[in-house]
Amino acid sequence: MDMKERIQDILKLLEKKHPDANIALRYGNPLELLVATILSAQCTDKTVNGVTDKLFRKYRSAQDYARVNIRTLEREIRSTGFYHNKAKNLKKTAQILVKTFNGQVPKTMDELLTLPGVARKTANIVLSNAYGVIEGIAVDTHVRRLVRRLGLTETDNPNKIEQDLMELVPREQWPRFTDLLIFHGRRICTAKKPPCEKCAINRLCPSAFTFY
């Protein structure tokens, strides 16, 4: 079985195991998804959703974020961690959206990457979930951990991992690939001592049962 065939088997098994896999961040429009994804860096989606539940009722537009007092915003997002940088990035991003993009979140990778705090992972999440635009594969901590364990890449660099995966996974499956691996990483293939005996893809994983 070659790598591409193994990936298809992995995806089929994960689809059966996690049919509910989907983006966990709550949002109502592209701006809210962009804000939530920026806040989710090194933070759980549950914490982010708790913060944005209040945030999105107060800030409705890019103009609102562009005008906010930075100290106020820091207090409101403090529990997401790294709140100084996140508040600064959110405010600067909003100012760019207002000045350059008429207050709208852009729909291209190149334009999104001009925004502070936005790297390819965030851009991929926003493009695929808000606009249905597939430009790449979002590589978060779960995806990075799982693809290395599965032997789908040898690098630890997210951008290089994305390039490796884009050569192995059909384009139409890129968003689903991310969702399924994230859910499997949360539920089964955890960072420490994963319960390999409960894993639906352990027979396809070269790292299975090597953590004990």
Q: pLDDT by residue (tens digit) across 36-86?
A: 999 999 999 999 999 999 999 999 999 999 999 999 999 999 999 999 999
Q: Which two tokens stand for residue 163?
A: 């390039």
Chain-centre distance for alpha carbon 73: 22
Is the separation of the CB atoms in 2 and 196 below 8 Å? no
Pick the catalytic residue: 16, 46, 88, 121? 121
Write out pLDDT tens, residues 143-160: 999 999 999 999 999 999
The catalytic position among 86, 91, 140, 164 is 140
d(CA 52, CA 48): 6
Q: Tell me the per-residue pLDDT of 180-199, one tens digit each, with 9 for 90 and over.
A: 999 999 999 999 999 999 99
pLDDT above 90 for 1:
no
For the question of residue 179 being annotated catalytic, the response is: no
Going from the N-terminus, what domains does the chain have, and what CATH number goes with each? 3-22+137-204 (1.10.1670.10), 30-131 (1.10.340.30)
Q: What is the pTM of this model?
A: 0.94
Residue 46 appears among annotated catalytic residues: no
- The pLDDT assigned to 212 comes to 66
The closest of 196, 176, 116, 200 to 211, measured between CA atoms, is: 196
pLDDT level of residue 211 (50, 70, 90 thresholds): confident
From the centroid of its chain, how far is CA 101? 23
Instruction: Report which DSSP code applies to 116.
Output: T
